[in-house]
Amino acid sequence: MRYINNIFTIEKCKLNKVLKKFETPIFCYSGRKINENINNFKNSFKSFSPIICFSTKSNSNLEILKQIKKNGLGADVVSKGELMIALKAGINPKKIVFSGVGKTRSELIYAIEKNILLINCESKSEILEIENIARSKNKKVDIGIRLNPNTDAKTLKQISTGKKENKFGVSEKTLVEVSEYSRKSKYLNLKCLSVHIGSQILDYKPYQKMLNVLDKLIKKIDLNFDYIDLGGGMGIDYNKDNKKFNYKKYNQIIKKFLTKHKTKIIFEPGRSIIGDTAILISKIIYIKESSKKDFIIVDAAMNDFMRPALYGAKHKIIPLIKNNKMTNKKYDFVGPICETTDKFLTTNKFQKLNEKDYIIICDVGAYGSSLSSNYNIRPKLAEILIKGSKINVIKKRQKLEDII
């Protein structure tokens, strides 16, 4: 993805040409970038070849999941719907893990019937519910237990999950209790210890702390796990300031861990696979000038892309066509929704913009379309996938008639 002669281009497609056929706002992915990210991820950890379960919540577009499956990945799911779509994409059930604090009985029954790799449990009550279902089916179910390692992921507080005040996982004490209980059960096969401390983590040190906690705990309870599921969370360079996650270091500390514990590592990456593979193209509807700044009112809004409104996340905005006429005017890029938080970004330097110009919101592949809603009765967006010079519509724009 780069400018060629001042026009933003994905693979072999110049976006001004693409927009002759498609309306905005629109999500636009690069197929090549997805493959590249998966290869890089695999290569980073190739010495211990982990099971890589793509976190479906970060992007649950069926065609994207099919491409991810083609690259040999499994899936991390958190609902019956995600499990269904992962299976529909052709992902092998033996490469699917099911996480979440509130799996309902019917979701658990479905997962058990589908013989997935692991159900990662997050409470005593959930384990008892699984045992109860397994007994009724006279089946032994493979489970994992998610530990809350009380580790600060040093990321946004809204997307931290590994501290004891967070609802996720169980404490060490409960883990010891439930692992003893599961060991004795005829219907449970405790195979995995899982953790996930948060998302958009850029520093490897929280992972190091997490691995230390696991190391001590495993020694203390003297239990062998077939799998250790380290979750996802590896961050990406949204600000383009080269603050990149140190995969080399993470690989090293896991390798060290593996010299002490013989187990298979599972990862559940979402953002690191799909985050920087897509952009959101939007058109300027109006420019409203005010004394302090200009409001650039675009046709995309917080319902289409929630991260800035929900977490104060910053996503770069760039022009689709560069005109090289820079201005120091303050611009507020906002959507049409009746909420003050319906704002994407404030810039202090940008090229001079005009109504009907196109802009690009960067790095929206993860938690973009999957977090979108119909707020203000706005239809969900179309999504296109570019591969070389080919453009595939991988989701049609929702029709208003289907919502109303």
Using CB under 6 A as the binding rule, whether residue 367 contacts ligand LLP is answered as: yes
Q: Are 283 and 30 in contact (CB under 8 A)?
A: no
Out of 50, 74, 144, 270, point to the residue binding ligand LLP (CB under 6 A).
Answer: 270
Residue 113 CB, nearest distance to ligand LLP (Å)? 22
Is the Cα torsion angle 192, 193, 199, 204 positive or negative in sign? negative
Q: Kindly indicate which of the ranges 12-20, 192-200, 249-257, 341-349 contains the residues binding ligand LLP, using the contact rule CB under 6 A.
A: 192-200
Out of 199, 277, 347, 351, point to the residue binding ligand LLP (CB under 6 A).
Answer: 199
Out of 69, 103, 191, 307, point to the residue binding ligand LLP (CB under 6 A).
Answer: 307
Residue 58 CB, nearest distance to ligand LLP (Å)? 4
Residue 306 CB, nearest distance to ligand LLP (Å)? 7
Using CB under 6 A as the binding rule, whether residue 121 contacts ligand LLP is answered as: no
Q: Is 121 a catalytic residue?
A: no
Q: Are 187 and 141 in contact (CB under 8 A)?
A: yes
- How many residues bind ligand LLP (CB under 6 A)? The answer is 22
Using CB under 6 A as the binding rule, whether residue 271 contacts ligand LLP is answered as: yes
Q: Kindly indicate which of the ranges 43-51, 268-276, 286-294, 354-362 contains the residues binding ligand LLP, using the contact rule CB under 6 A.
A: 268-276
- Distance between CA 230 and CA 309 in Å, rounded? 29
Using CB under 6 A as the binding rule, whether residue 263 contacts ligand LLP is answered as: no
Name every residue whose Cβ is closer than 8 Å to that of residue 156 and which is 6 or more positions away in sequence: 200, 311, 312, 313
- Distance between CA 380 and CA 375 in Å, rounded? 10
Using CB under 6 A as the binding rule, whether residue 159 contacts ligand LLP is answered as: yes
Which residue type does 363 have?
Answer: D
Using CB under 6 A as the binding rule, whether residue 335 contacts ligand LLP is answered as: no
Using CB under 6 A as the binding rule, whether residue 76 contacts ligand LLP is answered as: yes
Using CB under 6 A as the binding rule, whether residue 196 contacts ligand LLP is answered as: yes
Catalytic residue among 53, 121, 192, 338: 338
| Nearer Cβ to ligand LLP (80/271) | 271
Q: Kindly indicate which of the ranges 230-238, 239-247, 329-337, 389-397 contains the residues binding ligand LLP, using the contact rule CB under 6 A.
A: 230-238
Using CB under 6 A as the binding rule, whether residue 276 contacts ligand LLP is answered as: no
Using CB under 6 A as the binding rule, whether residue 209 contacts ligand LLP is answered as: no
Which residue type does 165 have?
Answer: E
Give residues in contact with ligand LLP (CB under 6 A): 55, 58, 76, 99, 159, 196, 199-200, 231-234, 268-272, 307, 311, 366-367, 371
Active site residues: 338
